[in-house]
Amino acid sequence: MNRKEIIELLEIENGSKDFYELIRESNNKTREEFNNQAYIFSQIGINASPCSGNCKFCALAENNYLLDNEFEFDTELVVEKARLSFEEGIDDLFIMTTASYPLKNLLNIANTVSEAMPKGKRLVANSGDMSYETALNLKDAGYTGSYHIKRLREGIDTEIPVSQRIDTIEAIQKSGLELYYCLEPIGPEHTLDELAEEILFARDLKVKAMAVMRRIAVPGTKLEKLGQISKLQLIKIAAVTRLASSPTRCMNAHETVEGSLLAGVNQLYAEAGSNPRDDVIETSNNRGLSIKDVRTMLKEYEFNITS
């Protein structure tokens, strides 16, 4: 699919006949190519403190930090939460940190968690930018993958240079860690051309796990005033992205929109701890879904789950 074809699909009117044809095609591809298999991912935000990334949509940004407190889970607590998550039944566990969280701690966590990790499960770092050497260290410590993206309007709505993000993405792929990718954070201000450009960038990365995420207008963040795209718009973008980027294991749309499970999405996230889209310390008490919630949803849409 080229840029023009992607834009044509993104231009389809939501709720039209073509819209339902688009999501039918994406749904069929996922059900057939992935053998109707679905995946439960769980993310733990292990710290919260004013972050120098200063993303204008984030509750943890240094220049408009929205949480009442700061915190950092100690390694024992992270390991215990990880153990409980695996026990409850998940496929991939994401350890998320703010941009300048110490690498040493991230390595300690992997050393301990990976020992207790059931066979076949994956441990993913969602952390700040890193060198090739650091990516290798993460891999040696027990991480199997890393979530890292070039955000929409990176360097404009964030204080992180695009080149730094791309260097990290290259380092991750070169190190042998699995790269998890996402088109985010999508807002009403992004043009279809911008979306198409990022979808093409993602396609060339040839990832197994792809996602799209809409920006949440978190009250108090700099971009709150721009609002959000609708759920239907997110579902359409998920379908187009799934068809154009062809991930080989799974597709996600975040935050969870049940209708996306009819549009090619076969992977959902449970979330705990800190969350850039939430202004409370423990997102599982607010925006974050539980592992049980996610499992129920996937089952209701008649996916197979092995975790």
**276 part of the interface to ligand SF4, by CB under 6 A:** yes
Considering the complex, state which of residue 60 and residue 265 has its C-beta at the smaller distance from ligand SF4. Answer: 60
**CA-to-CA distance for 89 and 142, rounded, in angstroms?**
19
80-105: b (≥16 Cβ within 10 Å) or e: ebbeebbeebbbbbbbbbbbebebeb
**Two tokens, residue 95:** 């350890």
Q: Which is nearer to ligand SF4, 68 or 204 (CB)?
A: 68
Does residue 98 touch ligand SF4 according to CB under 6 A? yes
Tell me the window of 52-60, 84-92, 219-227, 280-288 that interacts with ligand SF4 (CB under 6 A): 52-60
Smallest distance, Å, CB 57 to ligand SF4?
7
Dihedral over alpha carbons 104, 106, 108, 112 (to 10 degrees): -170
Asked if 58 touches ligand SF4 (CB under 6 A), the answer is yes
Tokens of 144: 């199997």
Read off the tokens for 174.
């070169």
User: Based on CB atoms, which residue is closest to ligand SF4, 37 or 275?
Assistant: 275
Residue 82 CA, distance from chain mean position: 18
Q: Judged by CB under 6 A, does residue 256 bind ligand SF4?
A: no
- 99 interacts with ligand SF4 by CB under 6 A: yes
Interface with ligand SF4 (CB under 6 A), residue total 11
179 binds ligand SF4 (CB under 6 A): no
Among 40, 44, 55, 294, binds ligand SF4 (CB under 6 A): 55
In three-state form (DSSP H/G/I as H, E/B as E, the rest C), the secondary structure along 67-132 is CCCCEECCHHHHHHHHHHHHHHCCCEEEEECCCCCCHHHHHHHHHHHHHHCCCCCEEEEECCCCCH
Q: Does 47 bind ligand SF4 (CB under 6 A)?
A: no
Which residue in 228, 295, 301 sits closest to 265, CA to CA? 301
Q: Which of 27, 37, 41, 53 binds ligand SF4 (CB under 6 A)?
A: 53
Q: Is 51 in the site for ligand SF4 (CB under 6 A)?
A: yes
User: Residues 6, 10, 40, 60: which binds ligand SF4 (CB under 6 A)?
Assistant: 60
Interacting positions 146-165 with ligand SF4 (CB under 6 A): 158
Q: Which has the closest alpha carbon to 24: 264, 257, 213? A: 264
- Residue 44 binding ligand SF4, by CB under 6 A: no
Q: What is the DSSP letter of 158?
A: S
Question: Rounded to the nearest whole angstrom, what is the least distance from the CB of residue 96 to ligand SF4 in the complex?
Answer: 8
Q: Kindly identify the residues of this chain, within the stretch 196-215, that bind ligand SF4 according to CB under 6 A.
A: none
Which residues of the shown chain bind ligand SF4 in the complex (CB under 6 A)? Answer: 51, 53-55, 58, 60-61, 98-99, 158, 276
